């Protein structure tokens, strides 16, 4: 006799974002058209290569930003802050808020049946970490002496330095703080990490290897070295003008992506387990897929990867193009990326009876790195919850190269389901499909 398939539902959400760190602030911003992009006001803003971005301004990294915590857990996390870079701190905070939202405090799940899958960017040290050691290794003429670094320079750095920047640390911290002893993995897949992580957690629960999973991603494009990397390798919005109007996915006058930071986490559980403790159910995960495509010269084929992932997620869900309520697009805001995405969407959904409504949360807060996909996923769940599809911000002039049905103010409803998809500059795409619980 075939065992009935286990159903996977979202029961908690938590995030740190440029639009605030609560469901109310995020939804108010999305529904009222309030951007999280602004001039950067950090102490070193004048020396940064870009003067504006989407910073998570309400997140200070202090323990109170991690939500309500039991005394012992609060003490443990506060002690661990010194070995977390900002991206790690945001990820841990978002996860603890998601657990609280799900009503799952420490000790309220079966430890051996609870796990973590976390998506990450590549992590880079702050330049200040090396300053004292570099200064100590200079000779009387100010020249750096490489031969002294191993013996003298490293000694001037914090002995815990490396722990702050290992990409597996958020998943490790969360497993320790919450006594989650089940499956644990870290996916360093940049922008596609959140969807890939949710897909892995979905399969883990479906096959019976866990009952509850923490799933999310954290990232930043506001780190000074990452800013330099982005400006040298990708299409970045820069120059003068209103910062709130800079992120404009699919618009004819888009200028590139806006840089930001943030983290998002969802709690997913097996349906019967969630119902047993009276969980609020945001939606059901019904399919996941991924694809990675490069050409013969190792150039990313992002459009083909996105098309593959979209086709596969529909196939895995047993759904057709008309069964999707709306698309939470990658919507990077770059000239080439948006055109490739729009072509992939058009190819997959060309047979629909009505145009597929498309929205893009990056129009409100830019590219948060790996964290973007997770916050966008939560935005999609809130759209289902409020039965309202938020519009693409700054979408004013349709681009013939981006033939999508863009969501506008007062326009389409979200339907009963959505697909969220994402892609990296290296051509790694991932997609997930969720629906209202039936």
- The per-residue pLDDT for range 26-49, each reduced to its tens digit, is 999 999 999 999 998 876 666 677
Residue 209 to residue 117: CA distance in whole angstroms = 13
Provide the number of structural domains found in the chain.
1
Residue 154 has pLDDT above 70, yes or no: yes
Picking from 156-165, 217-226, 251-260, which range would have the lowest pLDDT averaged per residue? 156-165
User: If pLDDT is split at 50, 70 and 90, which confidence band does 386 have?
Assistant: very high
Residue-wise DSSP of 118-129: EEE------THH
Give the H/E segment covering residue 193: helix 193-206
pTM: 0.93
- The CA angle 292-175-271, to the nearest 5 degrees, is 75
Residue 222 has pLDDT above 70, yes or no: yes
Pull the structure tokens for residue 302: 């992002």
151 is a domain residue? no
Residue 214 to residue 258: CA distance in whole angstroms = 28
106 is a domain residue? yes
- 365 Cβ contact partners less than 8 Å away, ≥ 6 residues apart: 17, 18, 19, 35, 36, 37, 54, 247, 258, 260, 262, 372, 375
CB-based contact 277:108 (threshold 8 Å): yes
145 is a domain residue? no
Domain residues for 218? 10-125+161-435
User: What's the CATH number where 318 sits?
Assistant: 3.40.47.10
300 is a domain residue? yes
1 is a domain residue? no
Q: Which burial class, exposed, middle or buried, applies to 268 when counting CB atoms under 10 A from its CB (0-12, 13-18, 19+)? A: buried
For 71, 259, 295, 369, the CA distances from 424, given in Å and listed in that order, are: 40, 15, 15, 9
227 is a domain residue? yes
Provide the pairing of β-strand 357-359 with 405-406: parallel
- Output the pLDDT for position 49: 75
130 is a domain residue? no
3 is a domain residue? no
Residue 274 to residue 334: CA distance in whole angstroms = 40
pLDDT digit string (tens) for 296-307? 888 899 999 999
């Amino acid at each position: 006799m075939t065992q009935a398939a286990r159903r996977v539902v979202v029961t908690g959400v938590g995030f740190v974002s440029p639009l605030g760190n609560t469901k109310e602030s995020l939804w108010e911003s999305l529904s009222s058209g309030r951007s999280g992009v602004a001039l950067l006001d950090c102490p070193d803003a004048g020396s940064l290569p870009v003067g504006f971005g989407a910073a998570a301004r309400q997140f200070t990294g202090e323990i109170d930003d991690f939500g309500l915590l039991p005394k012992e857990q609060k003490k443990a996390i506060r002690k661990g802050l010194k070995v977390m870079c900002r991206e790690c701190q945001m990820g841990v905070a978002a996860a603890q808020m998601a657990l609280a939202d799900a009503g799952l405090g420490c000790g309220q799940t079966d430890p051996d049946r609870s796990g973590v899958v976390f998506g990450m960017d590549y992590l880079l040290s702050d330049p200040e970490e090396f300053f004292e050691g570099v200064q100590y290794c200079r000779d009387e003429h100010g020249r750096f002496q490489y031969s002294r670094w191993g013996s003298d320079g490293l000694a001037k750095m914090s002995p815990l330095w490396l722990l702050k920047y290992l990409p597996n640390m958020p998943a490790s911290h969360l497993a320790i703080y919450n006594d989650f002893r089940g499956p644990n993995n870290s996916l360093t897949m940049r922008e596609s990490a959140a969807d890939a992580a949710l897909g892995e957690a979905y399969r883990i629960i479906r096959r019976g290897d866990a009952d509850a999973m923490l799933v999310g991603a954290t990232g930043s494009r506001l780190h000074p070295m990452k800013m330099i990397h982005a400006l040298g390798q990708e299409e970045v919005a820069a120059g003068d003008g209103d910062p709130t109007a800079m992120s404009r996915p699919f618009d004819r006058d888009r200028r590139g992506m806006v840089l930001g930071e943030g983290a998002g986490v969802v709690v997913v559980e097996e349906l019967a387990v969630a119902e047993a403790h009276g969980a609020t159910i945001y939606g059901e995960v019904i399919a996941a897929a991924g694809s990675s495509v490069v050409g013969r010269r190792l150039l990313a084929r992002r459009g083909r990867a996105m098309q593959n992932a979209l086709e596969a997620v529909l196939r895995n869900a047993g759904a057709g193009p008309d069964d999707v309520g709306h698309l939470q697009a990658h919507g990077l805001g770059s000239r080439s990326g948006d055109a490739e995405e729009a072509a992939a969407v058009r190819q997959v959904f060309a047979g629909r009876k009505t145009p597929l409504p498309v929205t893009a949360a990056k129009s409100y807060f830019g590219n948060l790195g790996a964290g973007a996909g997770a916050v966008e996923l939560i935005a999609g769940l809130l759209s289902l919850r409020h039965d309202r599809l938020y519009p693409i911000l700054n979408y004013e002039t349709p681009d013939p190269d981006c033939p999508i049905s863009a969501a506008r103010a007062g326009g389409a409803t979200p339907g009963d389901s959505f697909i969220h998809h994402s892609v990296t500059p290296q051509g790694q795409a991932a997609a997930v499909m969720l629906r209202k619980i039936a």
